[in-house]
Chain A
Amino acid sequence: MDERSRYLILHPLYRNSDLDQGLLRQTLASLQRVAIGYCSAALVGITLGILVGSSVWINRALDPIFQFLRMVAPLAWVPISLAALQRNEPAALFVIFITSIWPILINTAVGVRQIPEDYINVSKVLKLSKVDFFFKVLLPSALPYMFTGLRIGIGLSWLAIIAAEIVMSGVPGIGFFIWDAYQQNYVTEIIVAVIYIGAVGLLLDRLMSVLQNKIANQ
């Protein structure tokens, strides 16, 4: 193993310049983007999902559009978002957003549509108010589905950020790091970075799983 790689492994937190940083710093930069993109996707996705799930007509109108957009690969969004947003940073966020929103939205919609008939009947008989119905019946009932969506979504957003950073060079992040290493033919560095990416993906998934068990599986 060469000296550079060893240094990288032993010093994850060094910082020379914006683009020349330790791997942990690079990862954190990427994660920060994921956090912003993913959270906005979750917010918009769940809201839209509830809307779509509770109305057959909205669902019929929007479902084809969702299915159409869902099939567009994250990389295909990169040029569009760059062209539209002009700058690298917001474009990267948008790619994450648009990649991870679909599973969240669709699963939430399914969850809302699958509220057992019995629960709906009970709330009808009790004449529960809209607010009560939302918080006491709809949300808890759809929660497991939402979490399934959120868990798939976080995986996708992590995939997307790597792809996005590779393409839109010039921002610090683990994706750009790989691209840079490839340009300079440092294959061992790429392998080290891939291990980082995998480990972070695993951690993110576990984190969601813990959250899911805590909140949704009562």
Chain B
Amino acid sequence: MSVLVSVEQVEKSFPLPGGQEYLALKGIDLQIHRGEFVSLIGHSGCGKSTLLNMVAGLSLPTGGIVALDGHTITAPGPDRMVVFQHYSLLPWLTVRQNIALAVNAVLKNHSPAERQQIVEEHIDLVGLRHAADKPPAQLSGGMKQRVAIARALALRPKVLLLDEPFGALDALTRGNLQEQLRRICEEHQMTTLMVTHDVDEAVLLSDRVVMLTNGPGSRIGNILTIDIPRPRRRLEVVNHPSYYSYRSEIIYFLNQQKRIKQWRARRSTVVARHGLEKINLEIGFVPLTACAPLAVAKEKGFFAKHGLEEVNLVRETSWRGIQDGIQGGYLDAAQMPAGMPVWMSLGGGDNPPQPVVTALTLTRNGNAITLHKRFYEQGIHTLSQLKAYILDSPSRRLTFGVVHPSSMHNLLLRYWLAAGGIHPDQDVVLKTLPPAQMVANLTAGNIDGYCVGEPWNLRAALEGSGFTVATDLEIWLGHPGKVLGVREDWARAYPNTHIALVKALLEACRYCEDPAHHDEIRELLSRRAYLSTDPSYIHLGDPQRLICDLDRPMREYAHHRFFLGAGNRPSRTEHLWMMTQMARWGDLPFPRNWVEIVERVCQVGVFSTAARELGLDVSYQRQPIQLFDGIPFNGEDPLAYLNSLAIKHDIYVAEVALDRRPVLL
């Protein structure tokens, strides 16, 4: 497909009264291919209509170039016909006259008879034969917009530009019109650029959805390619397996933009007190049983005890939200999946490397792998049985949910599958979903199983939608679950705050470990501010009663460990193991400078200082990691270890340069 419209480094500012300028758009790069349907989505005032108007030529960029077919756009023209939100039909002309006015003005080299035929053809195209001689005032909103679309299409534009075409219509009419527009665009291979507010509309119609960040200085935040085959019918497209993940991707983006706006509005002042550099902290967490130490530190006053008097726990629904919050500096610290500090430091997910450090392992264990109960009924109770099933049914690839590329769930599930001879990228499909959506997706049949933290395994078992096929016991007993993560520049700017934070959370971990407090913590976690679920789903568990009995999947098997003394120390060996696993699946290169990176990520000194000040004995001995398949990992030679693994992606090794970013204040 060749490029039809190209937007290069476009910038647009508007003069404000008082001589100042408002920068609406900045650094916009976008290429629209012939026959492609592209949507622009974003919050009000983000400049999406401005961008559309620049393609139309109705306003010109103050920087950069907008070109059609290689020619810079300097003025409006009928080859870029616009359909406006408010129809913009001339009220003193009838439907036919409105279309004819455009056709006569533009298609001058056609004979009058040909022109008339084109007009009639397009009246029929939008089904308005019965209203052809009525003035717009006698038409409903939907009919008016159909006239506007017919008028635009009649001119055979190279690009059709739609500015919130259905924004003013009621839901039913909108649905019908979307369907008609989709059909017409598909049949005519129309190149289309549409501005919209409606997420479902964008997913239904678009090949690509361009998401704009909030102004001033809006940029393209993300471009989502909607890979759903055409023709797409409105009622069928929602059943496509990817539909909801596209939809939630866009909604996540829009929510994130809204929150950034709120964050910006709340002036972030640094409050220093008690010899700490900053005592007002925003700490992110995801509602899971494993967030207990954070909830306890807040509710039982451990934060306040260590001088952190203004801690605000920010509830995120997905790890992606934590990642973005830390990356954008909106969160001071966060509960993170164990692999996230390494993953972010190495620039996972095509982000620029963002050095993140951890000085505390918050929890160990607490994960499990759940399969749909269908497998249980078919007698698939073990990994080898699952492999046999996959070999028997090559036509359908099973889909498994994980919560984040950097989470232990992803790494453990992959390891578990690979150990059983199943290639996690070739034999099955792994999909990223927020933890709280796992059970619903399993029930709906979108996924066949998942690896996630509690309470979501227990819940599926209790509800009868799935069963636990493997727990920590079967994979890696005592694996790190969640860690405390902060940006490296943050840790450097607020060293005493960092130590106080680790002290508060370490004390909270010790509190959580005591079985005498378990009922209290379960009640606390079940509150609306945290998991907002029934306490019967929340179990902190006793590691001495580890049972995963497939015949009785309701038995307790959640066995978080919150406090293990030396076990809360950030382990270089473990982080190095995670680094090898990320490289194993081609997610990231294996860093040649892995020694440096492990040293920087694991802030052992902060942990030791905090533990010493609390009077805890955290002496430890380095031990190799032992997983269920019996292959030890001692961290001496990670590349040799990688090479020894049978199932893996092509591994590439590269130097990862961690730049020292300016200290964030």
Contact = CB atoms under 8 A, between A and B. Distances in A.
A127 B84 contact: no
A140 B76 CA distance: 23
A116 B136 CA distance: 16
Contact of B105 (A119, A121, A129): A129
Contacts of A132: 101, 105
B101 A136 contact: yes
Contacts of A126: 78, 101-102, 105-106, 155
Contact of A127 (B77, B91, B92): B77
Contacts of A218: 91-92, 135
A128 B101 CA distance: 9
Contacts of B75: 124
- Interface class of chain B by DSSP: loop
Contact of B88 (A118, A128, A129, A140): A118
A218 B56 CA distance: 31
B135 A140 contact: no
Contact of B82 (A121, A128, A140): A121
A125 interface: yes
B90 A125 contact: no
Given A121-B58, A132-B105, A127 B78 contact: yes
A127 B76 contact: yes
A137 interface: yes
Interface in B64-108: 75-78, 80-82, 84, 86-88, 90-93, 101-102, 105-106
A119 B102 CA distance: 12
B163 to A, nearest CB: 10
A124 B80 CA distance: 11
Interface residues of B, number: 24
Contacts of B155: 126
Contacts of B105: 126-129, 132
Nearest to B89: A122
B133 to A, nearest CB: 13
A125 B101 CA distance: 12
B84 A124 contact: no
A122 B88 CA distance: 7
Contacts of B87: 118
Contact of A119 (B78, B80, B82, B88): B88
Contact of B58 (A119, A125, A127, A136): A125
- Interface class of chain A by DSSP: helix
B56 A125 contact: yes
B84 A118 contact: yes
Interface in A88-147: 116, 118-119, 121-122, 124-129, 132, 136-137, 140-141
B84 A121 contact: yes
Contacts of A129: 105
A125 B52 CA distance: 13
Interface in B122-170: 135, 155
A69 B91 CA distance: 36
Contacts of B102: 126
A126 B80 CA distance: 9
Contact of A140 (B58, B90, B106): B90
Contacts of B101: 126, 128, 132, 136
Interface string A48-82: 00000000000000000000000000000000000
B92 A125 contact: no
Interface string A1-40: 0000000000000000000000000000000000000000
Contacts of B76: 121, 124-125, 127
B90 A137 contact: yes
Interface in A173-214: none
Nearest to A122: B88
Contacts of B90: 119, 122, 136-137, 140-141
A214 to B, nearest CB: 13
Nearest to B88: A118
Nearest to B91: A218
A17 B102 CA distance: 62
Given A118-B88, A132-B105, A140-B92, A125 B78 contact: yes
B98 to A, nearest CB: 9
B556 to A, nearest CB: 66
Interface string A137-160: 100110000000000000000000
Interface in B597-653: none
Nearest to B92: A140
Contacts of A127: 76-78, 105-106
Contacts of B88: 116, 118-119, 121-122
A125 B135 contact: no
Interface in B510-568: none
Nearest to A121: B58
Contacts of B77: 125, 127
A124 B82 CA distance: 11
Contacts of A125: 56, 58, 76-78, 80-82
B267 to A, nearest CB: 37
A111 to B, nearest CB: 14
A76 to B, nearest CB: 39
A119 B135 CA distance: 16
A119 B56 CA distance: 15
Contacts of B82: 121-122, 125
Interface string B100-120: 011001100000000000000
Q: Which of B78, B84, B90, B91 has the most CB of A within 10 A?
A: B90
A212 to B, nearest CB: 14
A124 B58 contact: yes
A126 B93 CA distance: 16
Contacts of B57: 124
Nearest to B101: A136
Q: Which of B56, B75, B76, B81 has the most CB of A within 10 A?
A: B76
Contacts of A140: 90, 92
B73 to A, nearest CB: 12
A121 B82 CA distance: 9
Interface string B434-454: 000000000000000000000
A124 B88 CA distance: 12
Nearest to A118: B88
Nearest to A136: B101
A116 B92 CA distance: 14
A126 B101 CA distance: 9
A13 B87 CA distance: 58
Interface of B: 56-58, 75-78, 80-82, 84, 86-88, 90-93, 101-102, 105-106, 135, 155
26 contacts: A118-B84, A118-B86, A118-B87, A121-B58, A121-B88, A122-B82, A122-B84, A124-B57, A124-B58, A124-B75, A124-B76, A125-B56, A125-B58, A125-B77, A125-B82, A126-B102, A126-B105, A126-B155, A127-B106, A128-B105, A132-B101, A136-B101, A137-B90, A140-B90, A218-B91, A218-B92
Given A122-B82, A126-B106, 11 more contacts: A116-B88, A118-B86, A124-B76, A125-B58, A125-B77, A132-B105, A136-B90, A136-B101, A140-B90, A141-B90, A218-B92
The 3 A-B residue pairs with the shortest CB-CB distance, nearest first, are A118-B88, A140-B92, A124-B76
